Amino acid sequence: MRYPAAVVADARVAALVAAWQDADRAHVLDGADRRGIERSDGARALIVERAISSAPLHEWFTAWLRYGRALAEEDVTTTLVDATTGSLATVLPEVAALPAGGAPLLEGFLSVVRERERAAADRAWEPPRCVVQTRHDEAAVCLPPFEDREQLADWAEDVARALAKRGVRTVICEEPGPARDELGGALAARGIVVRDGQRSGMETPPRPAPGRRGFWPFR
């Protein structure tokens, strides 16, 4: 019985992916590596398909990029990331004739790491972390370094909503700019007044000297 070419190709891809996963298991360091190997089969299949079909280079690099992201999303170790290209070469020698996939693999992996770090940094500006209650009806807000207007608008709404729930009627806020403008609009919609430190009668202390760490929410 003859099987359609597509079925034969799919069977070959599946067999190569399974062999690649087996080769990678020799480099497992922890449970995250094991999960990453099991759950990245779709991204691996895309690479194998590109390798055996002589796909354009941009598709080859994109497949490695996606694979790198898939590994990062499972929190695999860098040991596995470093070993996986060699594992593929042991089961699919044809890849030796193709441009190395290590660079786009690493780029995809690091892009997820950067996104997570950026998200963690952004969360540091969410209320109540960016708010200091100065009186029962007054609070000071530290402005975030965001530049994206949509992100600033979302942040301002979250802060304004949290302050309104606290019964705050006056907000102390320094450094005019996009962040203050967005916050001012969100606060005004809730009847909350924005003032700077000087007008509120507060004394703004000096900034930390160069080389010294310090935190002051009224920049």
- The tens digit of pLDDT for each residue in 145-179 reads 888 999 999 999 999 999 999 999 999 988 789 99
Please report which confidence band the pLDDT of residue 196 belongs to, taking 50, 70 and 90 as the band edges.
confident
Q: What percent of the chain lies above the pLDDT cut of 90? A: 71
Contacts of 158 (CB under 8 A, 6+ apart): 126, 127
pLDDT of residue 134: 92
Least confident of 53-57, 78-82, 198-202: 198-202
Q: How far apart are the first and last CA of the chain?
A: 77
Query: Distance between CA 173 and CA 130 in Å, rounded?
Result: 11
CA torsion sign for 196, 200, 203, 208 is negative
Query: Distance between CA 187 and CA 164 in Å, rounded?
Result: 8
Q: Is the pLDDT of residue 53 over 60?
A: yes
pLDDT of residue 152: 94
pLDDT of residue 105: 97
* Helices vs strands, H then E, count in the chain: 8, 4
Mean pLDDT of 190-211: 60
Q: Which residue has the higher pLDDT, 4 or 66?
A: 66
The neighbouring-strand residues paired with 133 are 139
Least confident of 12-21, 99-108, 197-206: 197-206
State the burial class of residue 111 (Cβ atoms within 10 Å of its Cβ: 0-12, 13-18, 19+): middle
Q: Is the pLDDT of residue 214 over 80?
A: no
Q: Is 68 in contact with 107 (CB distance < 8 Å)?
A: yes
Residue 112 is inside which H or E element, if any?
Answer: helix 102-123
Q: Is the pLDDT of residue 199 over 80?
A: no
Residue 201 falls in which region: left (phi positive, over 0), alpha (psi -120 to 50) or beta = left
Q: Is the pLDDT of residue 55 over 90?
A: no
